[in-house]
Amino acid sequence: MRTAVILGLVLLVSVFSGVFVFAETVIKYAHWNALPSDPYNYVKAFEEKNPDIRVEFMQIPEAEYSQKLRSMAMTGTAPDVLCLWEADLADFVRAGWVLSLDDYIKQSKELSLDDFIPAVTQLMQLQGSLYGLPWCFATEIMYYNKDLFDKAGVAYPGMDWTWEDFENAAKKLTVESDGKVVQWGCDALGFQGLWYSLAGAFGDKIVDEQGRFSMGSGTREFLQRWFDLTNKDRVVASPQVTTSGVVSADLFMAGKAAMAFNGSWMTSVYKDIKDFAWDIAPIPKKARHYSTLHTGFFAINARSGAKDAVWKFIEFCMSEEGQKLINEAYSNPSARLSILKKGYYRVEGPKGPRNWDAIEQTAQFAEWGYVLLPPGLTFDIVKDFNAAILGQLSVDDVVEQARNKAVDILGEEKVAR
């Protein structure tokens, strides 16, 4: 009798032990970046607050990331938590591979759509629902050498700067010696997104309200002005182009260009500059203020068997605690306005930057734009942009070819006239 009681207790303990182990929910999460080490490991921080949920992290190399996730989604093996690039999000939505977050966000006590940068709502309207939340963001801005501006007696750029202000400053900041430019007013465009940000500033929608490719007169005007600034006025450095794309020496970092357009992520590179004071400003306005946003979107795999646990993880990552860890680890700002202004992403060097308002100002008007389009298309068009600046193609031919390439890849209905 006593033995039977003991065996019964052992069985009872075993059953309860089994239930406890079984109760742990496991979710898989994929990203192209490795998880940051302590104290910035946001997955570890989530698990410590939620011991009943374990996150299996999967790092996929950036070069393989998009195709790998698409292949996994098609075979039903995609992870529960997806961090999707912009063009991938749109395709995953169309294929029904990700879940709408509308109900989750409505019930959340942590998150509100009113607290996100305007582009989040714009994308929601374009796709008809909220399918992803930006894990952080980057954008394009202008960098300037304060020492060279002071030496030339040129006022620093700000939110009120127009394209004409930029051109006038570039001319005053260019220095020639013996017929050779030794100091450029502005560096060449290196990163491909810059072409679309500047074309957008000249008035083109890039991607319109119907999600269509939309480039024309604004792009034409911008390319002609950039050609003139490069080849006639000789105040913008000429691009260095290889068969694989654009490779530009960083004249700004070398102190040989007074201005440069680049991604906000370069603040963490330029922080090591010790030879001159520098700062940042929004891209100057032409027809309007415009810049491109870059991010990955937290999304829920529609086939996940642990959707509520996945949302709990996403909600934590988008909370102030999670965003602080992500912003500090990767030096990128939060898409939540209340967290953005706290500046957790800021990394300052001895000489700059100081004008962090430029990031917040840009976040108010920046759009996803070209990143919603297939990257093969947009990169191919950039090669033609550079060819125009080098005089190898006419501006009119480039704009016409861009539209034709878009029609070939997207279809006539996805290209605005």
Asked if residue 62 and residue 144 are part of one domain, the reply reads: no
Q: Is 80 exceeded by the pLDDT of residue 15?
A: no
Average pLDDT in the 276-295 region?
A: 98
The answer to whether position 364 is within a domain reads no
The answer to whether position 356 is within a domain reads no
Asked if residue 167 and residue 111 are part of one domain, the reply reads: no
Q: What's residue 290's pLDDT?
A: 98
Asked if residue 159 and residue 170 are part of one domain, the reply reads: yes
Asked if residue 388 and residue 273 are part of one domain, the reply reads: yes
Average pLDDT in the 6-15 region?
A: 40
- Plot region of 256 (φ>0 → left; ψ -120 to 50 → alpha; else → beta): alpha
The number of distinct structural domains making up the chain is 2
Token pair belonging to 203: 């008035």
C-alpha 319/C-alpha 135 separation (Å) is 10
Mind listing the pLDDT tens digit for each residue in 103-128?
A: 999 999 999 999 999 999 999 999 99
Q: What is the CATH number of the domain that holds 94?
A: 3.40.190.10
C-alpha 225/C-alpha 237 separation (Å) is 14
Q: What's residue 392's pLDDT?
A: 96
The residue type at 3 = T
Asked if residue 183 and residue 303 are part of one domain, the reply reads: no
Asked if residue 333 and residue 214 are part of one domain, the reply reads: no
User: Which residues are within 8 A (CB) of 300 and not within 5 positions of it... i.e. 6 or more apart?
Assistant: 80, 81, 82, 98, 99, 101, 307, 310, 311, 314
214, containing H or E segment: strand 213-214
User: Which residues are within 8 A (CB) of 146 and not within 5 positions of it... i.e. 6 or more apart?
Assistant: 156, 276, 277, 278, 279, 352
Q: Do 229 and 167 touch, CB atoms closer than 8 A?
A: yes
The pLDDT confidence band at residue 343, using thresholds 50, 70 and 90, is very high
User: Out of 22-36, 39-53, 137-151, which region has the weakest mean confidence (pLDDT)?
Assistant: 22-36
The answer to whether position 10 is within a domain reads no
Query: What is the percentage of the chain residues whose pLDDT exceeds 90?
Result: 92
The answer to whether position 16 is within a domain reads no
Determine the structural domain holding residue 48 and report its residue range.
23-137+295-340
Q: Do 219 and 202 touch, CB atoms closer than 8 A?
A: yes
Asked if residue 303 and residue 287 are part of one domain, the reply reads: no
Asked if residue 244 and residue 161 are part of one domain, the reply reads: yes
The answer to whether position 240 is within a domain reads yes
Q: In what order do the strands lie in the sheet with 133-134?
A: 53-59, 25-31, 81-85, 296-300, 133-134
User: Which residues are within 8 A (CB) of 5 and not within 5 positions of it... i.e. 6 or more apart?
Assistant: none
Q: What's residue 249's pLDDT?
A: 80
Average pLDDT in the 261-276 region?
A: 97
Asked if residue 182 and residue 154 are part of one domain, the reply reads: yes
Mind listing the pLDDT tens digit for each residue in 298-307?
A: 999 999 999 9
Asked if residue 153 and residue 79 are part of one domain, the reply reads: no
Helices 307-318 + 42-49 axis angle, to 10: 120
Query: Is the model's pTM score more than 0.85?
Result: yes
The answer to whether position 13 is within a domain reads no
The residue type at 98 = V
Asked if residue 92 and residue 229 are part of one domain, the reply reads: no
The answer to whether position 81 is within a domain reads yes
Q: What's residue 297's pLDDT?
A: 98
The answer to whether position 7 is within a domain reads no
Q: Residue 280, class by beta-carbon neighbours within 10 Å (0-12 exposed, 13-18 middle, 19+ buried)?
A: buried
The pLDDT confidence band at residue 242, using thresholds 50, 70 and 90, is low
Asked if residue 103 and residue 216 are part of one domain, the reply reads: no
Mind listing the pLDDT tens digit for each residue in 71-114?
A: 999 999 999 999 999 999 999 999 999 999 999 999 999 999 99
